[in-house]
Amino acid sequence: MSPIRVGFIGLSATGSWASSAHLPYLKSSSKYRITALLNSSVDSARAAIAAHGLDPSTTKAYGTADDLAAADDVDLVVCSVRVDKHFALLRPLLEREGGASAVKAIYCEWPLGANLAEAEELAELARARGVRTLVGLQGRRAPVGLKVKELVDGGRIGEVLSVHVAGSAWNFGAEDWKEVKYLNEKETGGNMVTIHFSHYFDTVTQAVGQLSSFSSILAIKRPTIHLRDKPLAYKPGPSDPPVEIVETITRETADQVLIQGRLASGALISYHLRGGQEVPGTPGSVWSIYGSTGEIRVTTASGSIHIGGPGQTLQVHDHKTGEVETVSIDVGDGFDQDEYPWPSRNIARLYEAFAEGREHEYADWDEAIVRHRLIDELYWREKKGSGLLPAQYVSDTYGNSLEL
């Protein structure tokens, strides 16, 4: 079978998420071949082609989405740029004059749009044009999530009674790197709720089912953020330059997300994600599924379960025997090798599923709309003040207006 020809949007010469998360698989796989790059200019695209060792004779450089839309040697467009640029770049691919786009399929990073309206319009255009779609919710192929689902569906812990998730997002604390300033700006559409929460929550609900009812809180507990000139992971040595604060801004997006409710199965769920770093030496997140005969516990070094990372564990506690088993999450597909950086592994699994036509293993844009609707509902509930009811027991007039 001929390789799927890829037109890539957002692969810069200087390094980016695209180069660490997408390129390792696309350059090594016989199922795909990069035939086009779209960057901010043709010169920028050419520089990226050279920087990443792509063949300039078979990889065309583009500077506009309209030009890429007319390309006849692209089967799949991959869009890996900031979410606030998705709509402007993808719409021309789906609205080519005459109603026919040369593009057959589009892979867009999550979130699909900067808001629900953008996402719905893109999904509607794709349906109308018959364009195949997938969205970068790569946690659906995360081995740990798949193993949890296998254990739950197989009755390993009996009936699921409750689910609890607690984690930190690393970013969104008192200080942050200047390069991620946009994550604190509401209009951008990329923030802790839309990215960190949504990726993790999608992975969880794929394993244990969707919400049937819930209450929620979104809060900004650190409204003032100091932006530093170096990443949070930078720890200067005695001879290294110190970290400098270059700007102080007001945060516009939530740094605390709390959801409590019931799943469709009737099980209870509690989910809390906060900004800031975890206590050194402790997990970045803990996901527990408590059942009638046992409990599953997943720990990750970071709050990004969709990416994974060293130190991720899955344990099963058998209530009857008291034994705790550490369960292997190696699926043996070859992607858990050093040649694939952690950010690329589950994305590689998405590409494999798409190439082999396993549509049930990845989310298309219609499924992305469901995730966008949850985000939209969280915002709506917070705006309307419908996330919580006032506590009555601390009131001097308790009982006067309490209806049970």
Q: Kindly tell me if the per-residue pLDDT of 13 is higher than 60.
A: yes
Residue 251 lies in a domain: yes
How many structural domains are present in the chain?
2
Residue 75 lies in a domain: yes
Q: Between 396 and 291, name the one with better pLDDT.
A: 291
- What is the domain extent for residue 126? 4-136+355-362
Residue 287's domain is classified under what CATH number? 3.30.360.10
119 and 149 part of one domain: no
Report pLDDT for 399: 64
Residue 389 lies in a domain: no
Report pLDDT for 403: 58
Q: Which residue has the tokens 């590689």?
A: 348
Residue 382 lies in a domain: no
148 and 18 part of one domain: no
Percent of the chain with pLDDT over 90: 86
Report pLDDT for 241: 95
Percent of the chain with pLDDT over 70: 97
Q: 3-class DSSP state for residue 349?
A: helix
Residue 67 corresponds to which tokens in the numbers above?
Answer: 């030009």
154 and 170 part of one domain: yes
Report pLDDT for 99: 46
For strand 224-228 and strand 175-177, is the pairing parallel, antiparallel, or unpaired?
parallel
Which tens digit of pLDDT belongs to each residue from 119-170? 999 999 999 999 999 999 999 999 999 999 999 999 999 999 999 999 999 8
The pTM of this model reads 0.94
Which tens digit of pLDDT belongs to each residue from 180-234? 999 999 999 999 999 999 999 999 999 999 999 999 999 999 999 999 999 999 9
177 and 323 part of one domain: yes
End-to-end CA distance of the chain: 66
Cα 29 to chain centroid, rounded: 23
Residue 85's domain is classified under what CATH number? 3.40.50.720
Q: Kindly tell me if the per-residue pLDDT of 404 is higher than 60.
A: no
Q: Which residues are CB-contacts of 97 (< 8 A; sequence separation ≥ 6)?
A: none
Report pLDDT for 394: 79
132 and 167 part of one domain: no
47 and 164 part of one domain: no
68 and 209 part of one domain: no
Cα 39 to chain centroid, rounded: 23
**How would you write 159-208 as a 3-class SS string?**
CEEEEEEEEECCCCCCEEEHHHHHHHCHHHCCCHHHHHHHHHHHHHHHHH
pLDDT band for position 361 (cuts 50, 70, 90): very high
DSSP letters, 77-94, are: EEE-S-GGGHHHHHHHHH
Residue 9 lies in a domain: yes
pLDDT band for position 101 (cuts 50, 70, 90): low
298 and 177 part of one domain: yes
Out of 313, 329, 345, pick the residue that ends a domain. Answer: 329
58 and 167 part of one domain: no
Residue 338 lies in a domain: no
Residue 388 lies in a domain: no
98 and 177 part of one domain: no
Average confidence score pLDDT of the chain? 94
Q: Which residues are CB-contacts of 82 (< 8 A; sequence separation ≥ 6)?
A: 182, 188, 190
Strand partners, 271: 165, 259
Helix and strand counts by DSSP (H, E) for the chain: 10, 17
Residue 193 corresponds to which tokens in the numbers above?
Answer: 């709720």
31 and 162 part of one domain: no
Task: Return the beta strands (E) in 39-87 as ranges.
Answer: 60-62, 76-79
Q: Inter-axis angle of helices 198-208 and 365-384, to 10 degrees?
A: 110
Q: Kindly tell me if the per-residue pLDDT of 397 is higher than 80.
A: no
Which of 95-109, 177-191, 328-342 shows the highest mean pLDDT?
Answer: 177-191
For residue 341, is the peptide bond before it cis, meaning its omega torsion is within 30 degrees of 0?
Answer: no
173 and 287 part of one domain: yes
Residue 256 lies in a domain: yes
Separation between Cα atoms, residue 58 and residue 64, nearest integer Å: 19
Q: Between 50 and 170, name the one with better pLDDT.
A: 50
Strand partners, 108: 79, 135
